[in-house]
Structure 1
Amino acid sequence: MTTLSATMNWQLLAQKALDGERLTMEEALSVLEADNDELLPILQAAFTVRKHYYGKKVKLNMIINAKSGLCPEDCGYCSQSIVSTAPVKKYTLLDKDTLLAGAREAMSRKAGTYCIVAAGKGPTDKELQQVVEAVKEIRDTMPLKICACLGILKDGQAKQLAEAGVHRYNHNLNTSRANYPSITTTHTYDQRVETVEEVKSYGMSPCSGVIIGMGETNQEIVEMAYSLRDLDADSIPINFLNAIPGTPLENAGRTPAMKGLKVLALFRFICPSKEIRVAGGREVNLRTLQPMSLYAANSLFVGDYLTTAGQEVTTDHHIIEDMGFEIEMCAL
């Protein structure tokens, strides 16, 4: 019997995406389940969509781990969670001068977006005020977009961040609704959705993504993409699990590089006009195939992540140049 993926014209999926049509579950699964010999035609089709919306521009983002290792949550993938025994640095929220220094470093790396990330269920009022003060000064002195990732927000906190000048708020769905209880029990999938909807209501750009490699099925990967399409997330970071010793998922295997590239293509087909960002774990999962990710994705993190190392920033700059793409500088 001939499978759908064996007979699929991938450019038809690209045209469907460009026409604003939603892929069927069967079509979406055909991307993930395609033979590896089909990878280049799939990426070519994904590039058709990517080029339509973003040309050959690549957006760069930099993270600062603004508060580390003091999180009461039990997220199984995270080295900073309360259930992790990984030897990570532990410190309270960084002071304003350190956050400002991070912003200057982001500019030196040619990043257009500076991501202030703090471990925890959500910020205290004091922590929020520290972030607000830093954001105001960054906005006054540097041409950077600011993304905050501070957890679940209390009443009034989203309004304060928006008024301070935060452009974007990140709160990842991480996995499918069905898989969520196996990953985290200290908060719910719906709380994450509600947080994204809250920041949207105050005019901040919603950023929400996933982590691939946490025991989800291919159908659940498709459901994640559908969920982010329905949520209308402007920016979608695609993380690949970096299994850290000392975390509950320490023995999870890596995502094969070709599978990872198919995932990126899938998200481009389902969320065609959105910023698709190759995020954490790309170095250890995509390995030598990282350059090919740019045919589907239009955004990268540069430098280190929260508690894991990235690759040399110059390596990413060279990948972009060698692949014939160019860095998109920040335009506020």
Structure 2
Amino acid sequence: MISAFRVHRNCRPNLVRCSERPISSSIPTIVDEAPSPERPDHVTDSPSTWHQLAERVLDGHQLTPEEGLAILESDDACLPDLLAAAFRVRREHFGMDVQLYYLENARSGLCPEDCSYCSQSAVSDAPIDRYRLKSPEQLVAGAREAARNQARTYCIVASGRGPSDSDVNGVAEAVRQIKQDTGLHICCCLGLLTPDQAGQLKQAGVDRINHNLNTSRGFYDEICSTHSYQDRLDTLKACRDQGLELCCGLIVGMGETLRDVVSVCGELQELGVESIPVNFLNPIDGTPLENTDHLDPRFCLRVLVLFRLAHPTTEIRIAGGREVNLRSLQPLGLYAANSLFVSDYLTTAGQPASEDHRMIEDLGFRVVAHTATPPETVAG
């Protein structure tokens, strides 16, 4: 039975039923047409409500869909309490650590898929660089740059429906050299994979595969028609069966409802992934979603709180769209999340790595970097 979570009278939405409306540029439109779901009597109606939820999560409680909706629908007055609750859970499992990820766009553009959010898709007219898979030497050079930026994980990302066997051979060659040179944790995002390809990557030293669900099962056909939600689940299963860790997340702000956000959050609970990148849509000129408004930064923080409380022991990463959606509230996101991308994204610029490091230091957090030193930086 689904339970809901009682929130303080000053921390409730002014109206109800926003969960079925698409997410817009600010707090979603709310229609006063039905009462809020009944909330359990054991939860007191006080400002400490969210702190009580955090303690229940730490005691093993699994967040319910209605509790998730209550977080997303909460009033701005609740935000300090929500962030404090999320930080209580984050601190228990991750302390003050922040892990940095560095993206390498190994192949750009040239993709036959029609994902509406992506500047590299077949339906995009965005003025991006287009090139075939980089050489192993270029990928190794990117890993050394990741190490210099104190990243712990190097992400090799290639556009396309999925890699050819030749592509996998090239990536595997690079990974073996990167492991020898830097000791970096390696995550690959190469599209749909066969079990044999996943096994080859695992054998080469890849630690983790990124393959995002992006949205809920019910909304997926609205953003892509050239492959299915099930195709993505099949790739995740193939990778898990080969012993690879899973990095799997979503994009918020593509026209989905709050229930869609809660739904994919629950799907990720069932998958038991090790890492969740939470992307906020950065509408790129030339893509079908180019005219989509940016999200309200306070809403973005509530999304991060939701994922921390729903996934207390999972790495939560503030991913694409961080700078343009969270804006001046970026630092607050780290009270829920424990990971960031450093430097640039695939086809859009991020803020300078030095600013990310300063932000982390100013908050009193610390970067957990790679454990080996690139050969060219060794003294003597």
Return the TM-score normalized by structure 1.
0.97
1:122 to 162, 174, 177: 162
Query: Does 2:202 align with 1:132?
Result: no
Q: Residues 8-56 of structure 1, C-alpha deviation per residue, up to 9 Å, x if partnerless?
A: 6001221222122222222111111111011010000000000010000
Query: Does 2:287 align with 1:208?
Result: no
Q: Residues 71-127 of structure 1, C-alpha deviation per residue, up to 9 Å, x if partnerless?
A: 000000000000001111110000111101100000010000000000000000111
Q: Residues of 2 paired with 1:236 and 1:331: CA distance?
A: 22
Name segments (4+ residues, structure 1) moved above 6 Å: none
Q: Residues of 2 paired with 1:330 and 1:94: CA distance?
A: 23
2:232 to 181, 189, 192: 192
CA contact (8 A) 2:111 2:121 kept: yes
Matched to 1:229, the amino acid is Q
Alignment-derived partner of residue 297 in structure 1: 337
What displacement does 1:189 show?
0.5
Alignment-derived partner of residue 99 in structure 1: 139
Q: Residues of 1 paired with 2:141 and 2:227: CA distance?
A: 33
Q: Residues of 2 paired with 1:272 and 1:13: CA distance?
A: 12
Q: Residues of 2 paired with 1:24 and 1:117: CA distance?
A: 33
Which moves more between the two structures, 5-14 or 257-266? 5-14
Give aligned-pair identity as a percent: 52
> Any idea what SS the aligned residue of 2:316 has?
strand
Query: Does 2:328 align with 1:288?
Result: yes
CA contact (8 A) 1:208 1:237 kept: yes
Q: Residues 218-247 of structure 1, C-alpha deviation per residue, up to 9 Å, x if partnerless?
A: 111111111111111100000000000110
What displacement does 1:330 show?
2.7
Look at both structures and tell me which one has the larger radius of gyration over its CA atoms. 2
Alignment-derived partner of residue 182 in structure 1: 222
What displacement does 1:331 show?
4.5
Alignment-derived partner of residue 252 in structure 1: 292
Alignment-derived partner of residue 243 in structure 1: 283
CA contact (8 A) 1:46 1:269 kept: yes
CA contact (8 A) 2:100 2:367 kept: yes
- Structure 2's unaligned 5+ residue stretches are 1-5, 13-44, 373-380
1:27 to 36, 57, 67: 67
- Structure 1's unaligned 5+ residue stretches are none
Q: Residues of 2 paired with 1:68 and 1:23: CA distance?
A: 38
Aligned length: 331
Q: Residues of 1 paired with 2:195 and 2:245: CA distance?
A: 18
